[in-house]
């Protein structure tokens, strides 16, 4: 007879602990890049960025879009990085971030709207986040060699995007200047 109340108590304890485990830990916020890259502020977590230091990173993006109507998944981690540093009160002018887009799959995301629409039949969903990244001080760069391989004319590239000689040379140059290389598939 005593086993039943113990069983019920154990069941209630398991239910409550799993409910608490799944409880949200706070809001998802987008302090700098509004359209993408949400993050949880964690002011007591380890490895907090310094508000006075300048951070330099080049994000190598080769991930293709999920579809013609979806923004490229490779831009999300860059937006999240900006939002993480902004949430820690690092001034945006202390972030020297470069998005380096290259490869056959990812490079079409930099097309201006007219050429993207001509190629994919829809507006370029990447332009909004590209504009927000640029407004936050992030340089958006595309590999000129990938554009050539795809037959993309330089005049078709959105004006908020810089065309580099190549992804390879850009990575070498930026790492030589102290940029950390972050690769997002």
CB atoms within 10 A of CB 96: 17
Separation between Cα atoms, residue 136 and residue 97, nearest integer Å: 10
CB atoms within 10 A of CB 181: 13
Superfamily of domain 55-184: DsrEFH-like (3.40.1260.10)
**Residue 179 clears pLDDT 50, i.e. is over it:** yes
Alpha-carbon torsion angle 86, 91, 92, 93, nearest 10: -160
CB 66 within 8 A of CB 25: no
The dihedral through the CA atoms of 64, 56, 168, 156 has a sign that is positive
Q: Summarize pLDDT for 102-144 with one digit per residue, the tens.
A: 998 888 999 999 999 999 899 999 999 999 999 999 999 999 9
CA nearest to 120, candidates 65, 60, 177: 65
184: helix, coil or strand? strand
CB atoms within 10 A of CB 4: 8
User: Domain coordinates of the chain in residue numbers?
Assistant: 55-184
Q: Which residues pair with 56 in a beta bridge?
A: 96
Q: What is the pTM of this model?
A: 0.83
């Amino acid at each position: 007879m005593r086993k039943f109340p113990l069983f019920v108590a154990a069941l209630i304890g398991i239910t409550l602990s799993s409910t608490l485990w799944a409880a949200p830990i706070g809001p998802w916020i987008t302090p700098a890049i509004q359209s993408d890259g949400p993050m949880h502020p964690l002011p007591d977590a380890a490895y907090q960025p310094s508000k006075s230091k300048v951070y330099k990173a080049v994000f190598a993006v080769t991930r293709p879009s999920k579809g013609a109507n979806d923004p490229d998944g490779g831009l999300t981690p860059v937006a999240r990085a900006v939002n993480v540093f902004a949430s820690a009160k690092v001034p945006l002018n202390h972030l020297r971030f470069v998005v380096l887009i290259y490869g056959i799959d990812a490079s079409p995301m930099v097309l201006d709207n007219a050429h993207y629409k001509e190629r994919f039949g829809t507006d370029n969903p990447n332009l909004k986040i590209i504009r927000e990244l640029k407004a936050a001080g992030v340089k958006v760069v595309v590999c000129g060699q990938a554009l050539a391989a795809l037959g993309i004319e330089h005049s078709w590239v959105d004006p908020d995007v810089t065309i580099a000689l190549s992804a390879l040379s850009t990575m070498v140059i930026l790492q030589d200047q102290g940029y950390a290389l972050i690769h997002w598939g």
